Amino acid sequence: FSTNDVTVVFFLGGPGSGKGTQSANLVQNYGFVHLSAGDLLRAEQIREGSQYGAMIKEFITEGKIVPMEVTVALLSNAMADSLTNTPPPPGTKARFLIDGFPRKLDQAVFFEKTVCPSELVLFLDCPEDVMESRLLKRGETSGRDDDNAASIRKRFRTFVDTSMPVVEAFRAQDKVVTVQATGSVEEVYEIVKAGIEARGV
């Protein structure tokens, strides 16, 4: 597909900051197609015949970042599938909300060069104690391999060391809308909406 046909918004924030939750609202009200890199990796992990299943499980449990070739291929395939199966109305661009990616500087550079540059970056800012209690609570029922205290610690570490520099790099390009993510789901969404509308995306 051509980059002229799509608008890409990256949705970043620490583990448990609320990216998935807020994405659901954005899909409803702003016509985004939501692509969660983590969801795509988890689907690939359990796909019959995938050569990456064991590797993905290990990386996710350890809170490490899966090699970008795998993630970028999953994302660009999902974008192409969406454009084929549910093309946007004539004369409009498809709008992709890419949740939880890029998590490392080289991924950001590679994706923007080979797939599509981003228009905007939404960043959910949330303290670790809030994220931890959300994730431990979700872990009671989620079945996710990484919703346990040991994996959560590792995910936080990776986020600070490796993923925050991505946010900072986009901030230097004035692409970031930062949203305090500690309020209720509804309160956070109001701030997200205001940020998007202020940028006209």
Q: Report yes or no: 83 and 4 within 8 Å, Cβ to Cβ.
A: no
Q: How far, CA to CA in Å, does 179 sit from each of 17, 19, 115, 160?
A: 10, 11, 26, 17
Asked whether position 63 contacts ligand UP5 by CB under 6 A, the answer is yes
Of 19 and 175, the one with the shorter C-beta distance to Mg ion is 19
Residues 105-144 that bind ligand UP5 (CB under 6 A): 134, 138
Q: How far apart are CA 9 and CA 175, in angstroms?
A: 10
Closest distance between Mg ion and the C-beta of residue 99, in Å? 6
Closest CA to 104 of 44, 158, 59, 23: 158
Q: Select the residue whose beta carbon is closest to ligand UP5 and give its number.
A: 38
- Pairwise CA distance, residues 185 & 25, whole Å: 10
Residue of 7, 15, 95, 122 interacting with ligand UP5 (CB under 6 A): 15
**Could you say whether residue 60 binds ligand UP5 (CB under 6 A)?**
yes
Mask: binding to Mg ion, 2-41, rule CB under 5 A, as x and -?
-----------------xx---------------------
Classify residue 188 by burial, with Cβ atoms within 10 Å: 0-12, 13-18, 19+. Answer: buried
| Binding-site sequence positions for a ribonucleoside 5'-phosphate | 42, 64-66, 100-103, 107, 144, 155
